[in-house]
Structure 1
């Protein structure tokens, strides 16, 4: 994301001496994407950022998946994974339960009442949607405030931790990429500015505003990383606390974006899902459906037409409002619908007629479309509503 920010104390020119009050040098770190060929930031540390004193294996939560076979549309009830009200024993990092995944992206869910350990994803960017609750995300760049409806974008390699606020559990839908997650390319100028037709702009993106300095020694950081063709975890012990950055500048950093700041694109007839797109990664996109005026052609049918996902799986996470197309299916807040490639899907029976004449939909949902099939994680296997598959026909399966 080419949008420059400067925070804290930095020297007038990069790669030059930057001295602390006692005359010693700060340690400059370049954090950059695609080698030295894409967005980057320069961070100035009080201590050597490479200094570790121990490294041992970290056992990751269960990441095994099973193919969606036989091929079926599915309904997953994520709130059933964390039924207790406080969720005091769970945190946003280690408490995640894998719902769906493939070689490009993993979708998890967590309800957390405890602070997370320090954590760094060295595989890809993370896009986390706050369904409910609030909290603070402490990062090596500074602090972010995360509230209901916020997306939190964390670039690959960002050391951070989550701290829930208040008594309500922090419910988070986690999109973990094996790539970078960026604003949609068609919304950007060739120099990286969000254009006038984009449904949001730079004013809606909120990055850290000041450094976060913590003094400590022998500090544990959990690192998720590649190990051959597998995903592995390592516990690294740093000689000094990673949150020792006195200043940074550049175009690569974590930020929040509220779904409520997304300006919906509408038209006389039904708009296709790309009109709702907000982010993209390698082989997947993220869209959001927000409260909006709907189609105003005199003969419009406001709910979606039936469509076949010939190239992708469509995953909808329902997080608020009243989703018109799914009425009568059992889907509600906290649900995920899995509509796989190879199967035509669309409104529930009767939704087309009921929608005629509507001028506004009050719905809130986050959609991920993937271009490789998604498999079922352990979370999906224990929270599926098996009746959903047959709701279009009203009967089944055959005996």
Structure 2
């Protein structure tokens, strides 16, 4: 097939059951796995949940492909494919901030997988429980090579550079300001649309990303199901040597194919990769007083077994109006029972005066005190509280997890850290004058 154009057809509707075929009649009618499939295709089911899950939680897709996935070479260990993709082993409650990931970390041609760097992990992928945070840089496309993750779902947040993500189920365009979720087990390759690319990844071993419940908000607001987009069937029939990289139990493995794995001519189901344009998010906020908790900006969540407690929430801080009266408007000083990893896609974040730059990140771990720096506190304490629009050219996000991240050696290397970060709070002054009102 010819190379895809810049306009890629997509399906819309979060959680929908889709049916799409690149050749009319590729999907069998009336049953999923007939004795002989149309055009001599093979039927293959991809399950994202246990067979016995309740109907509303049951995730599976039927693929109709030229060759089944079972036909591949011997599996071998391949840690060299991504040398900085590792497990975290270090614990610290210190407040941390990182510089943007430097492209010069890799001296040669580097594709999306080779350029992976792990910041921290928690839990055990072999027991399917936990979370990880990674970064990526790339200056070349993946050629005759793809990747799939047996450990969990990946939420990809581009910060610089456009990507074309080719998946088994079709093509997805991905640009800064958008996100993609690639579910466990789905093969994909990343093609660069610009000279280089950089971004963030949140990996969940537990369950899957889903839309949060709206509760008292009602039926509208936050991320709308209609704005999520899925690929249409798109296949290539190529008999070429192909390398497949698999993440399994936190380690990388490799096997070979004699054909392209992107040979799915049609598929139907509810288990598929998707993208979402963050500019479509509809924020809700206080319209009278007080700063609301950041949970009101949740785009996607991965739930735990405890109601109301997420393994991780993906939260964004988009351009929006602030109208609260008699209120300190930036995020308040706080300590909480979640760990907050925050990144900046573009612009200037309103709670930090300087140092937090696009491509950078910060980590405020469980019960570690954090909040606005001294400069922001002083400015916000004396500003005129008229309705104002904030973050006009800014887009920040947060991976908020109930788990304590163990950091990698790379993450704690001073070369990558803003070693002066904690100084931003040291000039906070004692303002209280209590002696005149002291009760004897």
TM-score range relative to shorter protein: 0.7 to 0.9
In 1, Cα distance between the equivalents of 2:206 and 2:31? 27
The aligned residue for residue 19 of structure 1 is 37
The aligned residue for residue 191 of structure 1 is none
Determine if the alignment matches structure 1 residue 375 to structure 2 residue 400: no
Report the alpha carbon displacement of residue 353 of structure 1 after superposing the two structures with TM.
4.4
> Do the aligned partners of residues 122 and 383 (structure 1) sit closer, same or farther apart at CA in structure 2, a change above 3 Å counting?
same
Q: What pairs up with 1:151-190 in 2 under 5 angstroms?
A: 151-167=179-195, 169-187=196-214
Report the alpha carbon displacement of residue 218 of structure 1 after superposing the two structures with TM.
4.3
Can you give the 5+ residue segments of structure 1 that lack an aligned partner in the other structure? 189-193
Determine if the alignment matches structure 1 residue 223 to structure 2 residue 249: no
Mean Cα displacement is larger for which, 129-138 or 281-290?
Answer: 281-290
Judge conservation of contact 2:49–2:60 (CA < 8 Å) in 1.
Answer: no
Deviations 1:126-145 (A, max 9, x none): 00001111121011001111
Mean Cα displacement is larger for which, 55-64 or 89-98?
Answer: 55-64
Q: Secondary structure at the match of 2:155?
A: strand
Match of 1:75 among 90, 94, 97: 97
The aligned residue for residue 201 of structure 1 is 224
The aligned residue for residue 39 of structure 1 is 59
Determine if the alignment matches structure 1 residue 331 to structure 2 residue 348: no
Q: Secondary structure at the match of 1:307?
A: coil
Report the alpha carbon displacement of residue 290 of structure 1 after superposing the two structures with TM.
0.6
In 1, Cα distance between the equivalents of 2:427 and 2:357? 19
In 2, Cα distance between the equivalents of 1:185 and 1:297? 25
Judge conservation of contact 1:127–1:181 (CA < 8 Å) in 2.
Answer: no
Q: What pairs up with 1:269-348 in 2 under 5 angstroms?
A: 269-281=290-302, 282=304, 283-294=311-322, 296-309=323-336, 311-328=337-354, 330-348=355-373
Runs of 4+ in 1 over 6 A off after TM superposition: none
The structure whose residues are more often strand, as a share, is 1
In 2, Cα distance between the equivalents of 1:195 and 1:137? 34
The aligned residue for residue 111 of structure 1 is 137
> Do the aligned partners of residues 252 and 195 (structure 1) sit closer, same or farther apart at CA in structure 2, a change above 3 Å counting?
farther
> Do the aligned partners of residues 223 and 353 (structure 1) sit closer, same or farther apart at CA in structure 2, a change above 3 Å counting?
same
Judge conservation of contact 2:332–2:371 (CA < 8 Å) in 1.
Answer: yes
Residue correspondences, number: 376
RMSD (Å) for aligned C-alpha atoms: 2.3
In 1, Cα distance between the equivalents of 2:37 and 2:43? 11
Mean Cα displacement is larger for which, 9-18 or 273-282?
Answer: 9-18
> Do the aligned partners of residues 267 and 52 (structure 1) sit closer, same or farther apart at CA in structure 2, a change above 3 Å counting?
same
In 2, Cα distance between the equivalents of 1:217 and 1:185? 43
Match of 2:283 among 260, 264, 276: 264
Match of 1:102 among 119, 122, 136: 122
The aligned residue for residue 352 of structure 1 is 377
Can you give the 5+ residue segments of structure 2 that lack an aligned partner in the other structure? 1-13, 124-129, 305-310, 429-440
> Do the aligned partners of residues 258 and 195 (structure 1) sit closer, same or farther apart at CA in structure 2, a change above 3 Å counting?
farther
In 2, Cα distance between the equivalents of 1:218 and 1:259? 37
Report the alpha carbon displacement of residue 55 of structure 1 after superposing the two structures with TM.
1.8
Q: What pairs up with 1:83-102 in 2 under 5 angstroms?
A: 83=104, 89-102=109-122
Judge conservation of contact 1:87–1:113 (CA < 8 Å) in 2.
Answer: no
Query: Which TM-score applies when normalising by structure 2?
Result: 0.80
Deviations 1:273-328 (A, max 9, x none): 1101111225221111111111x23212210111112x221111012222121114
> Do the aligned partners of residues 187 and 211 (structure 1) sit closer, same or farther apart at CA in structure 2, a change above 3 Å counting?
farther
In 2, Cα distance between the equivalents of 1:386 and 1:49? 47
Q: Secondary structure at the match of 1:94?
A: coil
Report the alpha carbon displacement of residue 46 of structure 1 after superposing the two structures with TM.
1.4
Q: Secondary structure at the match of 2:132?
A: strand
Report the alpha carbon displacement of residue 88 of structure 1 after superposing the two structures with TM.
6.4
The aligned residue for residue 212 of structure 1 is 235
Q: Secondary structure at the match of 1:346?
A: coil
Report the alpha carbon displacement of residue 256 of structure 1 after superposing the two structures with TM.
0.7
Judge conservation of contact 2:169–2:264 (CA < 8 Å) in 1.
Answer: yes
